[in-house]
A and B are shown apart, each in its own frame.
Chain A
Amino acid sequence: MKIKNILILFALGLLFACEPKIDTFTTTSGEADFSKYVSLGNSLTSGYADGDLYKSGQENSYPAILAGQFEAAGGGEFKQPLMFDEYGFGRRFLLDASIPGPVLAGVAPDERNFQSIAGDGPFNNMGVPGAKSFHLGIAGYGTLNPYFGRFASAATTSVLADAIAQNPTFFSLWIGNNDVLAYALTGASSDSITPMPYFAGSIGAMLQKLTENGAKGIIANIPNITSIPYFTFMNTRLPYNGLVLTEQAQVDALNAGYAPLNAFIKSIGSTDTLAFALGQNGFVIAENDVLWGMRQMKSGELFLLTLPTDSIKNYGYGSQTPIPDKYILSTGEINEIKTATTAFNTVIKNYAQQFDIAFVDMNAKLSEIEQGGVVYDGVPFTTAFITGNSFSLDGVHMTGKGNALAANYFIDAINAKYGSVIKHVSPRLYPGIYYYQ
């Protein structure tokens, strides 16, 4: 009898729930309701990184990280229009440590990445790479932009319409970067800065619709794009006056070669001639603002990450041949971009007050990172290319760690505005740069 009892006791012990359990951390939503969160924006919102939109990048996008933190405060499911692999549209960069620098992954992407996944929608993350402010409201935008075409509910819909159709209780809107960036990305040689009425009008209209049913939300402003590695890295390698002449023969040959042009420039009363001496000289660059189409590069002007340095070394780019405009931002263009950014950011801030939503000053945050850097959970963030932790290999978009930091900035602004207690994430747990295979 006793043995039996004891054996039963043994058996009970073994059956005793084998797994220990812990309750998860809970937080509070304050005045906000995170049950249906929809994010709107451009590539930064979509999780685009390393020159492409790929699955793990999307999974580490700041809206996905936010949604993960909202979960403990009543947040619902957050569905994203995920790619099927890590190679998106086949343009992803990876780091080749031997250069060191980005190289194309060179892997054929999954064919399903190019097919519509609208049937799996609707999607909470409505970030569309390449979108400008006024694009989000354009009916039929999916036919113009394949990133939206992939998941647009219909050929005639707009990003905003698909967002509104989900009845979001909370939204985030981070748009406007492309309104200045698209212009700058081409060295200001094509595209254009969005005219203010389009910018202000489209954002105002979107906020009107998004807040109509009492939804709370957050809007982010536009970081100063000339702080990003796409515009700063090349100048750390090659200064504006990186044309170094070591022999008098080279100097004489160049001065002789440009003598006829200089004579012409002087003849029409300009002093903007080209001159070469031993040592460092400003590169010869294309310039559409002068009749003769070229000048020497000046301090403060920026090379783009796309600059073909081989052509400078081997084919006389910058000396015998002007470096094309699309690889350079001139001081004039930089000022144009800065002026537009400042004006756009004023509009965004005013709208945040007008529509009584949270506002996150990403411009100030990036400037903090640029000036001295930010250390979060021991992770040092700077704007340096490859080593700075903030930016991915395309020099424009954030790494997983960068997205985590951005998400924390959003969280701070949300908590401040709505009295919620959403917790930060540790950027340490998110990926940085990916190496070549």
Chain B
Amino acid sequence: MKKSTLLLLVLCLSATSVFSGGYQVRLQGHRQTGMGLVGVSLFGDASTIFYNPGAMSKTNNKFSFLVGGSGIFNNTVFSLENSTYQAKTDNPMGTPVFLYAAGKLGEKWSLGLGVYTPYGSSAKWGDDWAGKNLIQDISMKVFFIQPTVGYKFSDKLSIGAGFVYATGDVELNKAVPYSSPTVQGQANLQGKTTNYGFNAGILYTPNEDWSVGLSYRSEVTMALSDGDATFTVPSSLAGALSKDKFDADLPLPANLDFGFAYRSSEKFLFSVEFNYVLWETYDTLKFTFKGNPALNSSNPREYTNRLITRIGGEYIVNDLITVRAGAYYDPSPTNKNFFNPETPSLDTYGMSFGLSINPTKKFAIDLSYLHLETQETTKSYTPEYFTGNYKTRTMIPGIGLSYKF
């Protein structure tokens, strides 16, 4: 077998997949998380920077500061078609975090800055599971840094927009079919990148009881360039397959959010929201290798746009305590024929609870708990004939602090 034949074989296996379609993480405020992740029609604190910058200037506070984070405990079980074989992910805890600060500049204008993690994914299937040629483990982290400006036309109408500076890194491992009794062939791919985007929104509050929000977040392409590919192969192949550099584009999809909130009394607020996520952009994952063009691959993903439906409510028990609950349905954007376990994203039902404790008017401790369940679903990655049933359970407790005056 010649070198070129070997490389072609690697190409075929790279043609499986290489990294995640990205996992959208909307856990950017515990008030919203507690209410089933509604947010576009809510106002009153600096988390509007993420959920709807149009709502940022709709506040009576001069200054608002929020910081928080969540722990994502997520496991996926896989059952191989026609077999009693099962595998389970051993995912590390995911830790989305956020930090927002927003202040008023006079009556009409406001300025804010947000740092948050709207996309991220980690899946660890293990080095020797049945789908190791598709993925062994992957970790993707994306930070958005977003300076934001808001303007209030009147008490009824406000708008806002933010500039997004995105920075991200991805690392993944997958098996390659070149093994010896002591070395299991493996490809490690990692890369970092930065890019820009924006978000913008509008909030309309016709009266004290109602609010309607519309917000758009642009697509950001994480263009990995000069990523590092490192191959671990038996020594007799090390000459043919070693280090290389690669380029790949990973799209972070645009979102269009629309929702309204209704305050039925001083104490109770109810909200409904729709998020249209433009996943269609994630059609193919292409890898271009600098040293060995024979390694280049084009891997179908064929995601589709999806509409997420959410409801949430908030009840102010007293000056000290506010409780929240919510639910949503999040249909998976993945294609059932190109479902790669690197992103085991399934149709998901979410249910959440939240609690804020306000020891003083200015200061609050926010807690949230989000529970996600998926239906057991049969999925295939047809280029590799890899089919089985997947099911996921996710538990996400979160905590944050809020300070405003």
Residue among B240, B355, B373 with the highest chain A CB neighbour number at 10 A? B355
Within 8 A of B (CB), among A1-45: 2-3, 6, 9-10, 13-14, 16-25, 27
How many of chain A's residues have a CB under 8 angstroms from any CB in B? 51
Tell me the bound Cα distance from A54 to B390 in angstroms.
34
Are A13 and B386 CB-contacts (below 8 A) given A2-B321, A69-B83?
A: no
Tell me the bound Cα distance from A87 to B233 in angstroms.
19
Within 8 A of A (CB), among B109-164: 130, 133
B240 to chain A, nearest CB (A): 7
Closest A residue by C-beta to B238: A97
Chain B 340-360 against A: per-residue CB contact (8 Å), 1 yes, 0 no?
Answer: 000000000000010101000
Query: B74-82, B264-272, B283-291: which lies at the A interface?
Result: B74-82
B120 to chain A, nearest CB (A): 21
Structural contact, A19 and B75, CB atoms closer than 8 A: yes
B80 to chain A, nearest CB (A): 8
Within 8 A of A (CB), among B59-112: 73, 75-86, 88
Structural contact, A434 and B180, CB atoms closer than 8 A: yes
Say if the beta carbon of A72 comes within 8 Å of chain B: yes
Within 8 A of A (CB), among B359-405: 367, 369, 371, 373-374, 376, 383-386, 389-393, 395, 397
Say if the beta carbon of A431 comes within 8 Å of chain B: yes
* B contact residues around A428 at 8 Å (CB): 133, 384-386
Structural contact, A10 and B397, CB atoms closer than 8 A: yes
Within 8 A of B (CB), among A81-96: 86-87, 92, 94-96
Residue among B236, B369, B373 with the highest chain A CB neighbour number at 10 A? B236
Tell me the bound Cα distance from A58 to B178 in angstroms.
20
Say if the beta carbon of B234 comes within 8 Å of chain A: yes
Name the contact of B1 in the complex, choosing from A2, A13, A94, A100 (C-beta under 8 A): A100
B316 to chain A, nearest CB (A): 12
Tell me the bound Cα distance from A19 to B373 in angstroms.
11
Structural contact, B392 and A20, CB atoms closer than 8 A: yes
Residue among A13, A16, A18, A86 with the highest chain B CB neighbour number at 10 A? A13
Structural contact, A16 and B83, CB atoms closer than 8 A: no
Are A22 and B83 CB-contacts (below 8 A) given A2-B317, A10-B397?
A: no
Name the contact of B236 in the complex, choosing from A18, A424, A436 (C-beta under 8 A): A436
Tell me the bound Cα distance from A426 to B83 in angstroms.
10
Q: How large is the interface on B (under 10, 10 to 19, 20 to 34, 35 or more residues)?
A: 35 or more
Say if the beta carbon of A423 comes within 8 Å of chain B: yes
Tell me the bound Cα distance from A25 to B82 in angstroms.
6
Say if the beta carbon of A432 comes within 8 Å of chain B: yes
Say if the beta carbon of A437 comes within 8 Å of chain B: yes
| Interface residues of chain A: helix, strand, loop or mixed (majority) | loop
Tell me the bound Cα distance from A43 to B127 in angstroms.
30
* A contact residues around B25 at 8 Å (CB): none
Tell me the bound Cα distance from A56 to B184 in angstroms.
13
Are A425 and B182 CB-contacts (below 8 A) given A3-B355, A18-B75?
A: no
Structural contact, B84 and A435, CB atoms closer than 8 A: no
Closest A residue by C-beta to B376: A22
Structural contact, B84 and A24, CB atoms closer than 8 A: yes
Structural contact, A435 and B233, CB atoms closer than 8 A: yes
Say if the beta carbon of A137 comes within 8 Å of chain B: no
Say if the beta carbon of B235 comes within 8 Å of chain A: yes
Tell me the bound Cα distance from A412 to B45 in angstroms.
66
Residue among A17, A25, A92, A105 with the highest chain B CB neighbour number at 10 A? A25
Structural contact, A71 and B84, CB atoms closer than 8 A: yes
Are A9 and B353 CB-contacts (below 8 A) given A2-B323, A18-B395, A69-B82?
A: yes
Tell me the bound Cα distance from A424 to B80 in angstroms.
11
Tell me the bound Cα distance from A426 to B133 in angstroms.
13
Say if the beta carbon of A159 comes within 8 Å of chain B: no
Chain A 52-78 against B: per-residue CB contact (8 Å), 1 yes, 0 no?
Answer: 001010000000000011011000000
Structural contact, B393 and A18, CB atoms closer than 8 A: yes
* A contact residues around B369 at 8 Å (CB): 10, 13-14
Within 8 A of B (CB), among A407-437: 423-426, 428-429, 431-432, 434-437
Q: List 26 A-B contacts (CB under 8 A).
A: A3-B321, A6-B353, A10-B397, A18-B73, A19-B77, A20-B374, A20-B392, A22-B79, A22-B391, A25-B81, A25-B84, A27-B82, A54-B181, A56-B181, A72-B83, A86-B182, A94-B234, A97-B1, A98-B236, A98-B239, A105-B181, A428-B133, A428-B385, A434-B181, A435-B179, A437-B182
Smallest CB-CB A-B distances: 7 pairs: A423-B82, A86-B181, A20-B393, A435-B234, A377-B385, A436-B236, A22-B79
Residues on A lying within 8 angstroms of B by beta carbon are 2-3, 6, 9-10, 13-14, 16-25, 27, 54, 56, 68-69, 71-72, 86-87, 92, 94-98, 100, 105, 107, 377-378, 386-387, 423-426, 428-429, 431-432, 434-437
Additional A-B contacts beyond A3-B357, A429-B130, A435-B180 (17; CB < 8 A): A2-B321, A10-B367, A13-B369, A14-B397, A17-B393, A20-B77, A20-B373, A20-B393, A25-B83, A27-B82, A87-B181, A98-B239, A100-B1, A378-B383, A429-B80, A434-B179, A435-B237
